[in-house]
Amino acid sequence: MQRNSIIKIAFLGFCSLLIGCASQTKQKKEEVERPNILVIMCDDLGYADVGFNGSTDIITPNLDKLAKGGTILKAGYVTHPFCGPSRAGFMTGRYPHAIASQFNLPPNTEGVFLDKGIPRSEIFMSKVLKDAGYHTGAIGKWHLGITDEYHPNARGFDDFYGFLAGGHNYFPEQYRAAYQKQKANGNKAIFEYLHPLQHNGQEVSETEYITDGFSREAVRFINESAQTEKPFFLYLGYNAPHTPLEAKPEDMAMFPAIEDEHRRTYAGMVYAVDRGVKRVVDALKENKQFENTLIVFLSDNGGKVSKGANNYPLREGKGSTCEGGYRVPMFFHWPKQIQGGSIYEYPVSALDFYPTFARLAQATIPTGKILDGKDIWDDFSAHKNARAGEYIFAMRHRTGYSDVGVRKDQWKALRIQQEPWKLYNINEDLGETKDVSALHPKVLKELVAQAEVWSTTHQQPQWWHDKQTSIEWKEMEMPHFEKTFKID
């Protein structure tokens, strides 16, 4: 069967050579009909911090326009309530715990583990799309490894503009001055948030507020892609509104009614993203690519409440296995295929993007590649539950114990802070306030049992976000799953 296919492909290839120009034109046309895929990922953006999810104080007119012209996903989950593991899950289509990437890569100041990154054995979605003929770009935050073998250019991205670390300061004139001062003082581990940005491995001297710089580079990438006749995959990873809270005065001035300084700065940072999204949309329109671009918007994890974010009506935020930690603002926009004005209330995982994008791109998933998510496109398009009866897990390791969230259909099992397991009907109780485990003990038992099965796929972490955590992990003989999955 496989051999026949190979012969068939070879034969078709031979024919297209013979037929020449006419066929070539047709082939190009077919290629163009595959969508461009633009992922706009914010960093630590709260569930309620965009107009399309009900924000009343922060305005995001351009994001709202796209959201309303597409489908708003109300139950979009990422794979972890922290940046690095969430991005690892997104790029590989695997739970970060299963690929030993369940902690953030540590910042460089401790000078440890810096040669680590997401295992090379995991082929990124960017590589699969590149191999399928896509022009691929990553702009903004990476956080998946900083040495050459883990660099975006080594993981399927033709073009990378941004920074490799877990965060960055926003004003070039300020961070450059701090960086140069420390360099002059002989500091060998200058905090990574201050390092120069780079373009394909070469340091660049950014001149704009970096959110604006990333929007500018996204426009450049879209313009350049239009010259290649290939469809594109662009991962636009704004680090806004992640700390440090730094906004342009004119963006903050949009929010005079917000009294809290943190919240007003945060609002300005979100507004800068929204302004940038308008530039990106305009570039798509100018290149006549807007109609056939699938735009997926999301945050990498929940908003940090202590730093100005609002995840209402979800409970808690960044770092939590309550809904506020890993259920994020999300929409899909694609004029050619998605009718505007709809809401998709069924659960979707960021794990599903890899197989779904591959399908839309007519890409081949490498033999042996394990994917923890699924192609949701048919069900999503038909407005059916793509994940009926299926599980979505979250786990965060703390000092000596783990927090866990398990979702299936209307049920959410939750264990946090070593408290007993609780069960919520998440469709009726979005804020996880009414424990119904006493009414549905069998449901709780089943969800916890499934999470325990899932935990057997986990690997020992390859790194921890700091040295202290690595010491505690070993001293406390983590992960203690037997304790985690015990129902009291």
- Name the residues that contact Ca ion, by CB under 5 A: 43-44, 83, 300-301
| Residue recorded with tokens 């940090």 | 304
Smaller CB separation from Ca ion, 43 or 212: 43
Q: How far is the CB of 465 from Ca ion (least distance, A)?
A: 12
Q: How far is the CB of 350 from Ca ion (least distance, A)?
A: 12
- What letters, b where the CB count within 10 A reaches 16 and e where it falls short, cover 96-112? bbbbbbbbbbbbbeeee
Contact residues for 159 (Cβ-Cβ < 8 A; gap 6+): 135, 136, 137, 138, 199, 200, 221, 224
Smaller CB separation from Ca ion, 274 or 300: 300
Contact, 274 vs 40, CB < 8 A? Answer: no
Residue nearest to Ca ion (CB): 83
E strand segments, 193-319? 198-199, 202-203, 232-237, 293-299
Smaller CB separation from Ca ion, 46 or 231: 46
- Amino acid letter, 87: R
Q: How far is the CB of 83 from Ca ion (least distance, A)?
A: 3
| Residue recorded with tokens 């992960």 | 479
Smaller CB separation from Ca ion, 309 or 448: 309
Contact residues for 31 (Cβ-Cβ < 8 A; gap 6+): 133, 229, 230, 231
Q: How far is the CB of 397 from Ca ion (least distance, A)?
A: 17
Q: How far is the CB of 241 from Ca ion (least distance, A)?
A: 10
How deeply is 178 buried, as exposed, middle or buried, from its count of CB atoms within 10 A (0-12, 13-18, 19+)?
middle
**The one catalytic residue among 80, 97, 135, 143:** 143
d(CA 418, CA 264): 35
Residue 457, SS3 per DSSP: coil
Smaller CB separation from Ca ion, 323 or 375: 323
Q: Is 143 a catalytic residue?
A: yes
208: left (phi over 0), alpha (psi -120 to 50) or beta: beta
Distances (CA, A) of 43 to 40, 68, 284, 406, 426: 10, 22, 23, 23, 25
Q: What is the phi/psi pair of residue 405, to 5°?
A: -130, 135
Q: How far is the CB of 363 from Ca ion (least distance, A)?
A: 27
Smaller CB separation from Ca ion, 299 or 437: 299
Q: How far is the CB of 45 from Ca ion (least distance, A)?
A: 8
Of 7, 9, 38, 101, nearest to 364 by C-alpha is 9
Residue 442, SS3 per DSSP: helix
Q: How far is the CB of 320 from Ca ion (least distance, A)?
A: 13
Smaller CB separation from Ca ion, 84 or 137: 84
Of 291, 292, 319, nearest to 305 by C-alpha is 319
Long-range contacts of 390-394 (CB under 8 A, 24+ apart): 391/447, 391/450, 391/451, 391/454, 392/77, 392/347, 392/349, 393/95, 393/451, 393/454, 394/77, 394/79, 394/80, 394/81, 394/321, 394/325, 394/326
Smaller CB separation from Ca ion, 87 or 248: 87
Contact, 357 vs 233, CB < 8 A? Answer: yes
**The one catalytic residue among 80, 83, 168, 397:** 83
Q: Is 83 a catalytic residue?
A: yes
Q: Which residues are catalytic?
A: 83, 143
